[in-house]
Structure 1
Amino acid sequence: MPPKGSNSVTKTFEMLELLGESPEGISAAQAAETTGYPFSTAYRLLGGLVESGYASFDARTKIYTLGMEVFRLAQKVAHRQGLSGATKGLLQELTASTGESSILAVRRGNSALTVLTVDGPQFRTTTDPGDESPLHTSSIGQALLAHDPDADATIDAIDLVARTPNSITDPAQMRERLEQIRENGWAGQSEENDIGMNALAVPVFDLDGTLLASLALAAPVFRRSLDELIEFVPQLTETAAAIAARFPR
């Protein structure tokens, strides 16, 4: 959680962010404990979010979750930015031709923010729009980090925490991985971010070389090895170029 705010508006947004980080929901007591606010304050803030539609409350379980108003606003943002309308068809075509789930992500601070996914016919992706992935463990994050002009400083700034036993946690090893990604033109990871999943990502560059996003294919290890995903690099690269041409400016 971010540092506690000093005014009611900031506190409300902090509570909204806490709900976003709690997909299974949270009670008022848990919210108070996490934020450090008195129970009465947490209860009041959550009640205000429920009244405005930004949170939902289950009277039976006493659990608060994100409300549909958040979804509505998110859809408006996506529509205005044109990400979904302009690129979803391209991801659908990529998934249809490869049989694997496709993911589009952008950089948000020191995380990779998933903005669009298309599930494969036999397996659902392990990330949803709005989810954030570590730059150092996910293929979408590594593809973004590799082309960060300040990658060395970023590696020093982020905490290379392991998500699985296969995650890279050594800064020197991560720098070697990023150099390899730049040479190959793609980032591949095998069970570094999620056990049982392989993924391969390519960067999405604008015509002037500006990094816009990263595009990945994800597959369970029992069906597709990383080497087999590498065979799809030409299709990924072609789709990435098409996305760049449609990417909202």
Structure 2
Amino acid sequence: MDATPTAAGKLLAVLGAFDDGHRRLTLTQLAARAGLALTTAHRIVGELSAWGALERRPDDTYVVGRRLWNLGLLAPVQTDLRVVAAPFVHDLHAATKATVHVAVLDGVRALYVDRTSGRFSVPIVSEVGSRLPLHTTGVGKVLLAHAPQEVVDRCCADLVAPTPWAVTDADVLAAQLARVREQGWALTDQEMTPGASSLAVPVRDRAGAVVAALGVVVAPFEAGSPAQQSLLTALRVTAAGIERSLPRQD
């Protein structure tokens, strides 16, 4: 079988060179990460830039272009969920003044499809389109608790620690995920970012399957405190509203 990459394969390899840790790349870096000759990468990058899929910055690095971003927003996971969730996310933000997230499972990461920033000075690392670890975020733990075992196994094989509070023991994480399934919510305390805690609940489709997670990021608070209970109630009410508004899947 001919293993020579097709033209489409080479183009996809260039686009696939970008990820959370590589958002700005030089032409040389793009060629290396795509496994292409520099001349080939130069031609493809030129075509992608002309079309608007990539954008060249003044320092001669390339970033994902606006046209490609707009195209990605047409994906059902983006459009259906974001359109339905948007007014509920806005109301939750208005009620809590917290940063509100909606995330879906994307491989072994939590993909953030919507975010409304809070007013308080809490460190936030997520953006719409960010893919963050499942085991260190509230929305991630909700998604992981309801993910297939294969996803859990892959996640447990690489439990990185962004902060000293992150869980790096697979048995400890497994116990936490069991509690998440039992209680219906997840709490993290500075596991992704120092000075920020997150509380999240699942969002289910009409068949009862978890299709997303809804969470807030706030300053650290005591587990079981009135502040937690108030946020948890608001999250559950909001998630229920989103669930009632999700379209039926025939």
- What corresponds to 2:100 in structure 1? 102
Deviations 1:126-149 (A, max 9, x none): 21221112221211111011123x
Q: In structure 2, what is the equivalent of residue 146 of structure 1?
A: 145
C-alpha separation between the residues in 1 aligned to 2:77 and 2:183? 34
CA contact 2:186–2:200 (8 Å) conserved in 1: yes
How many residues in Structure 1 have an aligned counterpart in Structure 2? 241
Segment drifting more, 78-87 vs 154-163: 78-87
The 5 A counterparts of 1:93-172 are: 93-123=91-121, 125-148=124-147, 150-151=148-149, 153-158=150-155, 159-172=158-171
Cα-to-partner distance string for 1:177-215 (whole Å, 9 max, x where unaligned)? 111212222100011122222101101122332111100
Q: Which residues in structure 2 correspond to 1:5-24 (within 5 Å)?
A: 6-21=5-20, 24=23
Residue 79 of structure 1: CA displacement?
A: 9.6
Partner Cα separation in structure 2 for residue 181 and residue 142 of structure 1: 8
Measured in 1, the distance between the counterparts of 2:118 and 2:15 equals: 31
| Matched residue SS, 1:126 | coil
User: Post-superposition shift, 1:102?
Assistant: 0.5
1:103–1:116 CA contact under 8 A, matched in 2 = yes
SS in 1 for 2:29: helix
* Letter matched to residue 14 of structure 2: M
TM-score (norm 1): 0.86
Structure 1 position 22, deviation (Å): 5.8
Name the counterpart of 1:37: 36
1:51–1:22 CA distance, 2 compared to 1 (3 A): farther
Deviation at 1:101, TM superposition (A): 0.7
Report whether the alignment pairs 1:54 with 2:53: yes
The whole-number CA distance in structure 2 between the counterparts of 1:78 and 1:116 is 14
Q: Is the 8 A contact 1:23 1:65 kept in 2?
A: no
- Aligned pairs for 1:170-249 within 5 A: 170-221=169-220, 227=225, 228-248=227-247, 249=249
Q: Structure 1 147/78 Cα, relative in aligned 2: closer, same or farther at 3 Å?
A: closer
Task: Measure, in 1, the Cα distance between the counterparts of 2:112 and 2:78.
Answer: 17
Percent sequence identity over aligned pairs: 28
Task: Check conservation: 1:78, 1:84, Cα contact below 8 A.
Answer: no
Deviation at 1:236, TM superposition (A): 0.3
Contact 1:117 1:125 in 2 (8 A): no
Instruction: Tell me how far apart the structure 2 counterparts of residues 105 and 21 of structure 1 sit (CA, whole Å).
Output: 15
**Post-superposition CA distance 1:1-30 (Å, at most 9, x none):** xxx982221221221232354665211012
Corresponding residue SS for 1:76 = coil
Q: Distance in 2 between matches of 1:56 and 1:39?
A: 18
Deviation (angstroms), 1:239: 0.5
Consecutive unaligned residues in structure 1, runs of 5 or more: none
SS of aligned partner of 2:75: helix
User: What 5-or-longer segments of structure 2 have no aligned partner?
Assistant: none
Alpha-carbon distance in 2 for matches of 1:6, 1:170: 40
| Structure 2 CA distance for partners of 1:196 and 1:5, relative to 1, 3 Å | farther
SS where residue 30 of structure 2 aligns?
helix
Q: TM-score, normalised by structure 2?
A: 0.86
- Answer yes or no: is the 8 Å Cα contact 1:79–1:85 preserved in 2: no
Q: CA deviation at 1:163?
A: 2.1
Letter in structure 2 aligned against 1:75: L
| Residues 1:52 and 1:209: Cα distance change in structure 2 (over 3 Å) | same
Following the alignment from structure 1 to structure 2, what is the Cα–Cα distance between the partners of residues 192 and 22? 19
